[in-house]
Chains A and B, each alone.
Chain A
Amino acid sequence: EDQVTQSPEALRLQEGESSSLNCSYTVSGLRGLFWYRQDPGKGPEFLFTLYSAGEEKEKERLKATLTKKESFLHITAPKPEDSATYLCAVRATYNTDKLIFGTGTRLQVFP
Protein backbone atom coordinates (compact mmCIF):
# COMPACT_ATOMS: atom_id res chain seq x y z
CA GLU A 1 0.00 0.00 0.00
CA ASP A 2 1.27 3.46 -0.88
CA GLN A 3 2.15 5.39 2.23
CA VAL A 4 3.78 8.59 3.43
CA THR A 5 5.10 8.81 7.00
CA GLN A 6 6.40 12.01 8.55
CA SER A 7 8.52 12.29 11.67
CA PRO A 8 8.65 13.62 14.24
CA GLU A 9 4.98 14.48 14.82
CA ALA A 10 6.03 17.61 16.69
CA LEU A 11 9.31 19.46 17.09
CA ARG A 12 10.22 22.31 19.43
CA LEU A 13 13.34 24.31 18.60
CA GLN A 14 15.08 27.29 20.06
CA GLU A 15 15.58 30.13 17.64
CA GLY A 16 18.80 29.43 15.69
CA GLU A 17 18.79 25.70 16.49
CA SER A 18 18.98 23.87 13.15
CA SER A 19 17.19 20.56 12.61
CA SER A 20 15.60 18.27 10.01
CA LEU A 21 12.13 16.92 9.33
CA ASN A 22 11.73 13.50 7.73
CA CYS A 23 9.28 12.23 5.10
CA SER A 24 9.50 8.50 4.34
CA TYR A 25 7.49 7.17 1.42
CA THR A 26 6.47 3.83 -0.04
CA VAL A 27 5.21 4.08 -3.58
CA SER A 28 5.68 1.88 -6.63
CA GLY A 29 7.10 4.68 -8.73
CA LEU A 30 7.70 8.26 -7.65
CA ARG A 31 6.69 10.99 -10.05
CA GLY A 32 7.17 13.83 -7.61
CA LEU A 33 7.44 14.71 -3.92
CA PHE A 34 5.94 17.96 -2.67
CA TRP A 35 6.56 19.93 0.52
CA TYR A 36 3.96 22.34 1.89
CA ARG A 37 3.78 24.68 4.87
CA GLN A 38 0.46 25.07 6.70
CA ASP A 39 -0.29 27.78 9.25
CA PRO A 40 -3.16 27.29 11.75
CA GLY A 41 -6.56 27.85 10.16
CA LYS A 42 -5.05 28.25 6.68
CA GLY A 43 -4.59 26.10 3.60
CA PRO A 44 -1.24 24.49 2.76
CA GLU A 45 1.24 26.74 0.97
CA PHE A 46 3.45 25.10 -1.65
CA LEU A 47 7.20 25.12 -0.93
CA PHE A 48 9.10 22.65 -3.13
CA THR A 49 8.81 19.88 -5.69
CA LEU A 50 11.49 17.18 -5.90
CA TYR A 51 11.50 14.79 -8.83
CA SER A 52 14.46 12.39 -8.50
CA ALA A 53 16.90 11.05 -5.95
CA GLY A 54 19.81 13.38 -5.31
CA GLU A 55 17.82 16.51 -6.08
CA GLU A 56 17.93 19.46 -3.68
CA LYS A 57 15.90 22.68 -3.50
CA GLU A 58 16.47 25.72 -1.27
CA LYS A 59 14.39 28.67 -0.16
CA GLU A 60 15.64 31.03 2.53
CA ARG A 61 16.28 28.89 5.64
CA LEU A 62 14.72 25.75 4.14
CA LYS A 63 16.45 23.07 2.11
CA ALA A 64 14.70 19.95 0.80
CA THR A 65 16.55 16.81 -0.27
CA LEU A 66 15.38 13.51 -1.78
CA THR A 67 16.60 9.92 -1.71
CA LYS A 68 14.93 6.80 -3.11
CA LYS A 69 13.07 6.21 0.16
CA GLU A 70 12.78 9.54 1.95
CA SER A 71 12.99 13.28 1.85
CA PHE A 72 14.37 15.68 4.42
CA LEU A 73 13.42 19.27 5.06
CA HIS A 74 16.41 20.92 6.69
CA ILE A 75 15.76 24.13 8.62
CA THR A 76 18.87 26.21 9.23
CA ALA A 77 18.89 28.78 12.04
CA PRO A 78 15.09 28.85 12.32
CA LYS A 79 13.14 31.91 13.41
CA PRO A 80 9.79 32.02 15.25
CA GLU A 81 8.04 32.84 11.97
CA ASP A 82 9.05 29.39 10.69
CA SER A 83 6.61 27.87 13.19
CA ALA A 84 3.99 25.93 11.22
CA THR A 85 2.98 22.41 10.23
CA TYR A 86 5.03 21.04 7.35
CA LEU A 87 3.30 18.55 5.06
CA CYS A 88 4.83 16.12 2.61
CA ALA A 89 2.96 14.54 -0.32
CA VAL A 90 3.89 12.17 -3.15
CA ARG A 91 2.53 11.60 -6.63
CA ALA A 92 2.93 8.11 -8.05
CA THR A 93 3.78 7.38 -11.67
CA TYR A 94 0.83 4.99 -12.04
CA ASN A 95 -1.77 7.38 -10.59
CA THR A 96 -0.93 10.95 -11.41
CA ASP A 97 -4.41 12.24 -10.46
CA LYS A 98 -3.79 11.98 -6.74
CA LEU A 99 -1.40 13.17 -4.08
CA ILE A 100 -0.79 10.99 -1.02
CA PHE A 101 -0.23 13.13 2.06
CA GLY A 102 1.59 12.48 5.30
CA THR A 103 0.17 13.66 8.62
CA GLY A 104 2.67 16.48 8.97
CA THR A 105 5.27 17.72 11.44
CA ARG A 106 4.22 20.55 13.74
CA LEU A 107 7.21 22.83 14.24
CA GLN A 108 7.42 25.41 17.03
CA VAL A 109 10.38 27.78 17.19
CA PHE A 110 10.84 29.74 20.41
CA PRO A 111 12.75 33.02 20.75
Chain B
Amino acid sequence: DGGITQSPKYLFRKEGQNVTLSCEQNLNHDAMYWYRQDPGQGLRLIYYSQIVNDFQKGDIAEGYSVSREKKESFPLTVTSAQKNPTAFYLCASSTLVGNQPQHFGDGTRLSIL
Protein backbone atom coordinates (compact mmCIF):
# COMPACT_ATOMS: atom_id res chain seq x y z
CA ASP B 1 0.00 0.00 0.00
CA GLY B 2 1.33 3.43 -0.94
CA GLY B 3 1.59 5.98 1.77
CA ILE B 4 3.61 8.15 4.10
CA THR B 5 5.21 6.64 7.19
CA GLN B 6 6.26 8.78 10.12
CA SER B 7 8.22 7.46 13.06
CA PRO B 8 8.29 7.38 15.95
CA LYS B 9 4.68 8.05 16.91
CA TYR B 10 5.77 9.56 20.24
CA LEU B 11 9.10 11.19 21.06
CA PHE B 12 10.51 12.78 24.18
CA ARG B 13 13.30 15.35 24.18
CA LYS B 14 15.58 16.30 27.01
CA GLU B 15 16.91 19.82 27.44
CA GLY B 16 19.78 20.59 25.08
CA GLN B 17 19.13 17.53 22.95
CA ASN B 18 18.58 17.31 19.20
CA VAL B 19 16.00 14.81 18.00
CA THR B 20 15.22 13.58 14.50
CA LEU B 21 11.79 12.71 13.16
CA SER B 22 11.58 10.28 10.27
CA CYS B 23 9.33 10.62 7.19
CA GLU B 24 9.33 8.09 4.34
CA GLN B 25 6.97 7.98 1.34
CA ASN B 26 6.48 5.38 -1.38
CA LEU B 27 4.08 7.45 -3.49
CA ASN B 28 6.86 8.57 -5.88
CA HIS B 29 6.04 12.18 -5.01
CA ASP B 30 8.59 14.87 -5.79
CA ALA B 31 7.57 17.32 -3.07
CA MET B 32 7.69 16.74 0.68
CA TYR B 33 6.69 19.03 3.55
CA TRP B 34 6.97 19.34 7.32
CA TYR B 35 4.23 21.04 9.35
CA ARG B 36 3.77 21.77 13.00
CA GLN B 37 0.29 21.59 14.56
CA ASP B 38 -0.51 23.27 17.88
CA PRO B 39 -3.92 23.36 19.59
CA GLY B 40 -6.09 26.18 18.23
CA GLN B 41 -3.70 26.97 15.39
CA GLY B 42 -3.67 25.99 11.76
CA LEU B 43 -0.90 23.84 10.36
CA ARG B 44 2.29 25.88 10.01
CA LEU B 45 4.91 25.07 7.40
CA ILE B 46 8.43 24.41 8.70
CA TYR B 47 10.37 23.28 5.62
CA TYR B 48 9.62 21.86 2.21
CA SER B 49 11.53 20.21 -0.61
CA GLN B 50 10.65 19.80 -4.26
CA ILE B 51 13.74 17.95 -5.40
CA VAL B 52 16.52 15.84 -3.92
CA ASN B 53 19.32 17.85 -2.28
CA ASP B 54 17.26 21.04 -2.24
CA PHE B 55 14.84 22.47 0.33
CA GLN B 56 13.30 25.78 1.34
CA LYS B 57 12.37 27.37 4.64
CA GLY B 58 8.74 27.68 5.48
CA ASP B 59 7.12 30.12 7.87
CA ILE B 60 8.65 28.79 11.11
CA ALA B 61 12.03 27.25 10.20
CA GLU B 62 14.04 28.62 13.13
CA GLY B 63 15.30 25.82 15.39
CA TYR B 64 14.72 23.11 12.79
CA SER B 65 16.83 21.49 10.07
CA VAL B 66 16.11 19.02 7.27
CA SER B 67 17.86 16.98 4.60
CA ARG B 68 16.67 15.42 1.34
CA GLU B 69 19.26 12.88 0.25
CA LYS B 70 16.71 10.49 -1.27
CA LYS B 71 13.41 11.18 -3.00
CA GLU B 72 11.59 8.92 -0.54
CA SER B 73 12.94 10.41 2.67
CA PHE B 74 12.73 13.84 4.35
CA PRO B 75 13.87 13.72 8.00
CA LEU B 76 13.33 16.68 10.32
CA THR B 77 15.74 17.51 13.14
CA VAL B 78 14.42 19.55 16.05
CA THR B 79 17.47 21.24 17.49
CA SER B 80 18.11 22.54 20.99
CA ALA B 81 17.65 26.05 19.56
CA GLN B 82 13.91 25.37 19.25
CA LYS B 83 12.71 26.58 22.64
CA ASN B 84 9.12 25.43 22.38
CA PRO B 85 9.25 22.12 20.53
CA THR B 86 6.23 20.43 22.13
CA ALA B 87 3.78 19.90 19.25
CA PHE B 88 2.33 17.43 16.77
CA TYR B 89 4.56 17.18 13.69
CA LEU B 90 3.10 16.21 10.35
CA CYS B 91 4.89 15.19 7.17
CA ALA B 92 3.18 15.49 3.79
CA SER B 93 3.99 14.82 0.17
CA SER B 94 2.54 15.70 -3.20
CA THR B 95 3.16 15.44 -6.90
CA LEU B 96 4.21 18.66 -8.61
CA VAL B 97 2.13 17.90 -11.70
CA GLY B 98 -1.18 19.71 -11.78
CA ASN B 99 -2.94 21.24 -8.79
CA GLN B 100 -2.87 18.21 -6.54
CA PRO B 101 -3.51 17.95 -2.79
CA GLN B 102 -0.89 17.14 -0.22
CA HIS B 103 -1.17 13.76 1.49
CA PHE B 104 -0.20 13.36 5.12
CA GLY B 105 1.40 10.83 7.41
CA ASP B 106 -0.02 10.08 10.86
CA GLY B 107 2.30 12.39 12.71
CA THR B 108 4.84 12.38 15.54
CA ARG B 109 3.98 13.86 18.91
CA LEU B 110 7.04 15.47 20.50
CA SER B 111 7.13 16.29 24.19
CA ILE B 112 9.75 17.73 26.53
CA LEU B 113 10.99 15.73 29.51
A contact set with B: CB distance below 8 Å: 4, 31-32, 34, 36, 41-46, 49, 51, 87, 89, 91, 96-104
Contacts and interface: CB of A to CB of B under 8 A. Distances in A.
Contacts of A45: 104
A7 to B, nearest CB: 13
B56 A46 contact: no
Interface residues of B, number: 24
Interface of B: 4, 6, 31, 40-43, 45, 48, 50, 56, 58, 90, 92, 99-107, 109
Contact of A44 (B40, B90, B99): B90
A87 B4 CA distance: 19
Contact of B104 (A41, A43, A104): A43
Contact of A34 (B42, B56, B101): B101
A96 B56 CA distance: 14
A13 B40 CA distance: 21
Contacts of B43: 44, 87, 89, 99, 101
